[in-house]
Structure formats: C-alpha cells, structure tokens
Amino acid sequence: MPVYTVHEPPRRDSEDDLIAHTARFRFVRDGFHFWAFVLAPFWMLRHRMWLEFIAYLLIVGGITFALRSFGIEETAGVWVALLLAILIGIEASSLRRWKLARRGFENLGVVVADDLEMAERRFFDRWAANPDAGASSMPPSPAPFGRPAATAPSEIVGLFPQPEARP
C-alpha cells in the first residue's frame, strides 16, 4: 500500500480561509517514480525543481567529462546513465520533500492509503476530527500518521539505570 507524507505550506498573510489554506497542502508519495526514472530532467522541470535540475545537469556534465577524459568506453557511459536514472527514480520523493522544506512547508506526518484521493480523505478526516487544533498543528493520533507519543520519564529502554536511583 502506498505511503504519503503530508506537507503544510506556510500561511499567507492575506489568507484567512482555512479551506483555501488546506487546498495548498501537498501529499508526496513515497517509493519509486517511473517518470522520474525515464525522463528525469523533464520530471524535475514539471515539478519546478530548479536547483535539482541544475545539479542534475552539472552531475551529468561532470560524469560525461570525466569518462571522456579518462578514455572510458561509451558503453560504460550508458551504464552510468542508467544507474543515475535509477537513483533519481528511487530518490524522487525525497527530492520533492527537500524542495517543499526549502519553501517553508512543514511535514505533518504520514498517511497510508491506496491512492492519493484516499490519502487526502484519511488525513483530512483525522485532521478535522479535532476542532481545537489550528491549521498548523496535527491532532494527537495513533498510526497511520503522526509522531509517536512521548514516553513517561520512568520508562527507559536498554541497560540504563533507573531515574532518581541512588548510586
């Protein structure tokens, strides 16, 4: 079942409507992205990932220059390009999350669902269930999303001494 991370954008000064704010939430599917694997530069441009696109061009240019300067066969270049494409396909969701973090989006948690629509429905059903929570706070919730609850200070895992114990 696909896993989605939920990202809340920073509030706009002119934005008073909660519905308009929640419409700008981003759900990023975790996992392999086929189109990022096949057409990495176009995929980056489609998602407005300018820094990633420039870094991709510099990496491809540097690898091409290095392979030619060392006189390595062209078949090795094909293998390197394939490995780079696989890497981008695997890390595409991480690149999107990095871009959203740079733009000030806050990671609210994780949702497990069959598709994007179901992920949105699950997230907003849980999010709307707590009317006291503001737009930038998640209600306390168990899995499938949210941070784990803090443990009591007396619950220590491992080979540590008990709190407030006398030596």
What's the CA angle centered on 114, arms 111 and 120, to 5 degrees?
45
Confidence (pLDDT) at 92: 95
Q: For residue 85, is it within any domain?
A: yes
| Residue 27 φ then ψ, to 5° | -110, 120
Q: For residue 28, is it within any domain?
A: yes
- Mapping DSSP to helix (H, G, I), strand (E, B) and coil, where does residue 162 land? coil
More confident residue, 7 or 147: 7
Q: For residue 154, is it within any domain?
A: no
Confidence (pLDDT) at 12: 78
More confident residue, 157 or 109: 109
Q: For residue 62, is it within any domain?
A: yes
Q: For residue 134, is it within any domain?
A: no
Q: Tell me how far apart the alpha carbons of residues 63 and 41 are, in angstroms, rounded to a whole number.
A: 16
Band (pLDDT 50/70/90 cuts) for residue 39 is very high
More confident residue, 142 or 82: 82
What's the CA angle centered on 90, arms 87 and 95, to 5 degrees?
90
Q: For residue 137, is it within any domain?
A: no
List the beta bridge partners of residue 26: 7
Cβ-proximal residues to 149 (8 Å cutoff; 6+ apart), any chain: 140
Return mean pLDDT, the chain: 82
Q: Tell me how far apart the alpha carbons of residues 34 and 43 are, in angstroms, rounded to a whole number.
A: 10
Task: Evaluate if residue 83 carries a pLDDT over 90.
Answer: yes
- Which residues constitute the domain of residue 34? 3-128
Q: What is the dihedral of CA 50, 53, 57, 63, to 10 degrees?
A: 130
Domain count of the fold of the chain: 1
Task: Evaluate if residue 135 carries a pLDDT over 60.
Answer: no
Query: Hey, what long-range contacts does 50-55 have (CB within 8 A, 24 or more apart)?
Result: 51/99, 51/102, 52/95, 52/98, 52/99
Task: Evaluate if residue 154 carries a pLDDT over 90.
Answer: no
In 3D space, the residue among 34, 36, 37, 33 whose CA is nearest the CA of residue 45 turns out to be 36
Q: For residue 83, is it within any domain?
A: yes
Confidence (pLDDT) at 26: 93
Q: For residue 111, is it within any domain?
A: yes
